[in-house]
Structure 1
Amino acid sequence: MFQGSDTLRDSMQKVLVDLIELHVQGKQAHWNLLGSNFRDLHLQLDEIVDAAREFSDEVAERMRAVYLIPDGRTSTVTSATSLAEFPEGPVETTEVVDLIVDRMYAVTTTMRAVHDDVDDEDPTTADVLHSILERLEQLAWMTGAENRHPEKESRSKTTRDRDEKAAAEGLDRVGAIAN
């Protein structure tokens, strides 16, 4: 019988709280969304929320399968998440796209940060992370494409300046680590 270590628990716990927080923030965005393309983004947020909820369940169940105790209590999530707090009140659709994409990439950054330790101890658990990473990055890319308008943006000095600043910092336009 394999039993995960405290290191494995700590690593998976970091992923778990970020996924739970992504789920909650996705619902906050879903409820307070305003602006153009409302309906499509409203439905897309449901897809992200459902995925985050399923992913958090998968992580917690994997933890239990290797005899580790997940902690998804509100106080634990709030104190341990790496995600920035979501703004209060109504939020414009274009801003929501950037906010949610940034948070999805924050979760994948957490997953990548713990990946090697997880893989060293338990490749099967690392495989769980792999499948979640693949889907979450796909969702982030597809959602982020909503705000990208290459021809229009290439004419905008503000956009060019923002993107150049982000690139100089090694980030993409929403603050995620650039490839």
Structure 2
Amino acid sequence: MTRSIPSLAFGLLLVSTALSPALSRDATLAQARGTAPSASQILARVQVAQADRTAPAADPQTSGARTDGVRQSSQTQVGSRQPTGAFPTNEISRQPVIDLGAGEDGMKKDVAALQQTLTELQQLQLQTKQAHWNASGTLYYPLHLLLQEHYEGLSKYADTIAERLLAVGASADGRANTIVRTSGVPEIPGGFLDDAQILAWFTNAYKRVGEEVNAAIKATEKVDPTTSNLLQEVEHGIAKYQWQMRAQLQRTGTDPNTGWDLNDNKPIDLQGQPGTGQNPGQSQNPAQNKP
């Protein structure tokens, strides 16, 4: 028993080290675009992302150094004879597949639209689970449950899109580096996340992804109607999730609902919804606010 206590303490120390938060990327969404991205813009971004790029070397003085105790504890080498390839890599099958009848250019558009949608769905999956674990504040419990529901729904949509890629004769790329390098949605901040922050972040993230999926629908509606129809199902789900987030901050005729009560007595900043500047205790009737 005397020997087991130091061993247990050492094990807990290793786990603690492994769970140290990594340096977070800038999670502030860019200013929302006035219009949805065009199909050509989506395709161009995917084609650029498909160029083989070398990942920057990890800085040993930052997050990697803090996990060395666990990360370097195994001497097992992981490798493959097959090269890593570009991010994303969508290999085309040489086996007989159902011809889309759209030619090589049509196939490229189809695969690009499906792959980019898959990447964004996976990115949202990761962020919903991160927020699900770390949600804090008054709305912790309902957001905890809602985010789990969204995670499961996004997982099903991602699986459907990946399987469609395989059905049309291309491999699906769900690798972590593909998500990091090609997603248009930035990382959510690390650490505990307050409820107001979660509502604002997902309202805008779902809006962005919904607009990208809409562009993918238009890019594929002529070359592959089946893919376009599947993407419409995804867009429907994303729009529903976006509504479920923004509804919690939806203004009504009886409540300006700026989120003062959730956000340290300051209105929650939603793109396209400027704050009213109204204090929580103020009435909407100016006459009632006179001293």
The reply on whether 1:9 has 2:111 as its aligned counterpart is yes
1:34 aligns with 2:136: yes
Match of 2:182?
80
Q: CA deviation at 1:73?
A: 0.3
- Structure 1 residue 134 corresponds to structure 2 residue 236: yes
In the alignment, structure 1 segments of 5+ residues that lack a partner are: 174-179
Higher helix proportion (structure 1 or 2): 1
Higher relative contact order (CA 8 A, sep 6+): 1
Q: After superposition, give the CA deviation of every residue in 1:140-174 in whole Å (9 maximum; x if it has no partner).
A: 102221123432347x8x759x67xx4xxxx457x
Correspondences of 1:25-174 after superposition (within 5 Å): 25-150=127-252, 151-153=255-257, 166=271, 171=272
SS state at 1:77 partner = helix
Q: Output the CA distance in 1 between the equivalents of 2:235 and 2:251.
A: 26
Cα drift, residue 76 of structure 1: 0.5
Deviant stretches of 4+, over 4 Å: none
2:257 and 2:132 map into 1 onto residues whose CA distance is 26
Q: Partners in 1 of 2:188 and 2:244 — Cα distance?
A: 20
Distance change in 2, residues 1:137/1:172 (3 Å): farther
Length-normalised TM-score, structure 2: 0.53
- Aligned equivalents of 2:164, 2:220: Cα separation in 1: 12
Code of the aligned partner of 2:175: R
Letter of the 2:182 partner, please give it.
A
The separation in 2 between residues aligned to 1:64 and 1:101, in whole angstroms, is: 31
Q: TM-score, normalised by structure 1?
A: 0.83
In the alignment of these two chains, the number of paired residues is 164
Structure exhibiting the larger radius of gyration computed from Cα positions:
2
Query: Aligned letter for 1:2?
Result: D
User: CA–CA distance in 1 between the matches of 2:273 and 2:225?
Assistant: 30
**Percent identity over paired residues:** 24
